Copies of this chain bind each other. A is one copy, B any other.
Amino acid sequence: MDLQRAAANPLIRPQDVRPTRPDMDVIGVFNPAATRFGDETLLLLRVAEAVRDVPDRELAVPMVDCRGDEAVLRIERIRRDTPHLDLSDTRMIRLRDRLLLTSLSHLRLARSRDGVTFTIDETPALYPRDRAEEYGLEDPRITRIDETYFITYTAVSRWGIAVGLASTTDFVTYQRHGLIFGPENKDVVLFPARMGERFFALHRPAVIGLGELQIWLASSPDLYHWGRHTPLLSRRRGYWDALRIGAGDVPVRTDDGWLTLYHGVNAEHGYCLGAALLDVQHPSRLLARSAEPVMIPEAEYECRGFFDHVVFTCGSVLDDAGMLHIYYGAADACTCRASVPVADVLATLERPRRNFSAA
């Protein structure tokens, strides 16, 4: 497979992004949504900020207080000698009975004519403003349907990890539509077309007891309300997607079906990208998927960052020459691009070994 990382990678690094406040540092700019808008490529970047100048003896947790009319940044300070503090995951602070995030993410717009050189807005496009977003907005996807661009994003709060929806027609003003999937859910991707009278989405609920981490399909009459949930794509023991799995970019329509990239994790490689092919009329029918990853974290910037060994996509752009430009977060730190002919991806897919719909 002829996958080419952009020579200019990483395209966007934390130091390229202006923080929202002088007392905050941008520590990550990654997992961008991507779309074409007019003659530009737009990215909606996840910008993660941490509190600047924290004394060695403490941790500072940024969150947004959404109780009033205006969302206000609040910083909770925790002493490093607090009993039962667990910092083993760089993304989180575990206290005895609470889990907090070490950074607060918002969504920021970047524009490009050539797809690799981006101008980044100075201020957020979407910043937390609802109590279900108090710990941040993460991992957006943009799906164009007719003339409206729908943005799904992970909304994080003390109530859990859920999925919000916003929309825009101009990338200047945005409308919020509340949470379309309750907790615990993330990696929600809307298909860019109606099939029959229905819209479809991929989602990735979490399960505690019975059940498996799995990509599900749901459908909707209006994009705001979802039902008819069905399991679609499971993890596979012994494969690159053995441990975790979740949807990636917005599906692209090909002659063979809907092609979508998804992330898979195994112990050997970390977060990789692979592809699945779904029936054009009935996306609940899985036609084929990657036996081997399309992309493995290998570059230095993918292997060393905030969370190591990660390539994670939330959006791609297909050009007229059949080249799929994959925008992705590298190591939860910076934004990169890799390009691959769609035909190459399709050629490597394999039919599932068993008929999943009869599993």
Listed in ascending order, the chain A residues whose CB lies under 8 Å from chain B are 67, 92, 99, 101, 131-132, 135, 156-162, 177-185, 203, 205-212, 214, 216, 218-222, 224-231, 358-359
Cβ of A161 and Cβ of B207 under 8 Å apart? yes
Cβ of B226 and Cβ of A227 under 8 Å apart? yes
CA distance A214 to B161 in the complex (A): 13
Number of copies: 2
Cβ of B358 and Cβ of A179 under 8 Å apart? no
Question: Which residues on B sit within 8 Å (CB–CB) of A230?
Answer: 132, 178-179
Cβ of B159 and Cβ of A184 under 8 Å apart? no
Cβ of A205 and Cβ of B183 under 8 Å apart? yes
Cβ of A227 and Cβ of B229 under 8 Å apart? no
| Most chain B CB neighbours (cut-off 10 Å) among A92, A157, A177, A181 | A181
Q: How far is the CB of A240 from chain B (nearest CB, A)?
A: 19
Cβ of B206 and Cβ of A207 under 8 Å apart? yes
Cβ of A205 and Cβ of B160 under 8 Å apart? yes
Q: Which of B67, B160, B214 has a CB less than 8 Å from the CB of A211?
A: B160
| Most chain B CB neighbours (cut-off 10 Å) among A179, A181, A182 | A182
Question: Which residues on B sit within 8 Å (CB–CB) of A92?
Answer: 209
Q: How far is the CB of A23 from chain B (nearest CB, A)?
A: 24
Q: Which of B131, B161, B229 has a CB less than 8 Å from the CB of A209?
A: B161
Question: Which residues on B sit within 8 Å (CB–CB) of A221?
Answer: 221-222, 225
Cβ of A212 and Cβ of B99 under 8 Å apart? no
Question: Which residues on B sit within 8 Å (CB–CB) of A178?
Answer: 227-230
- What are the 7 closest A-B residue pairs judged by CB atoms, nearest first? A160-B211, A225-B225, A182-B229, A225-B227, A179-B229, A160-B207, A178-B228
Question: Which residues on B sit within 8 Å (CB–CB) of A162?
Answer: 229
CA distance A160 to B210 in the complex (A): 5
Q: Which of B131, B226, B359 has a CB less than 8 Å from the CB of A359?
A: B131
CA distance A216 to B181 in the complex (A): 11
Cβ of B179 and Cβ of A227 under 8 Å apart? yes
When A178-B228, A229-B179 are in contact, do A210 and B358 touch as well, CB less than 8 Å? no
List 19 additional A-B contacts (Cβ < 8 Å) besides A182-B185, A184-B207.
A99-B210, A101-B210, A159-B212, A160-B205, A160-B207, A160-B210, A161-B207, A161-B209, A177-B228, A178-B228, A178-B229, A179-B227, A179-B229, A179-B230, A183-B211, A184-B210, A208-B208, A221-B225, A224-B228
Q: Which of B67, B207, B227, B228 has a CB less than 8 Å from the CB of A183?
A: B207
Question: Which residues on B sit within 8 Å (CB–CB) of A220?
Answer: 225
Question: Which residues on B sit within 8 Å (CB–CB) of A216?
Answer: 182
Question: Which residues on B sit within 8 Å (CB–CB) of A207?
Answer: 160-161, 183-184, 206, 208
Question: Which residues on B sit within 8 Å (CB–CB) of A225?
Answer: 219-222, 225-228
27 CB contacts below 8 A, A to B, read A67-B359, A99-B209, A131-B231, A135-B210, A158-B210, A158-B212, A159-B211, A159-B231, A160-B205, A160-B211, A162-B229, A178-B227, A178-B230, A179-B227, A179-B228, A179-B229, A180-B227, A182-B185, A182-B205, A182-B216, A182-B218, A183-B207, A184-B211, A208-B208, A221-B222, A225-B225, A225-B227
Q: Which of B131, B180, B205, B228 has a CB less than 8 Å from the CB of A184?
A: B205
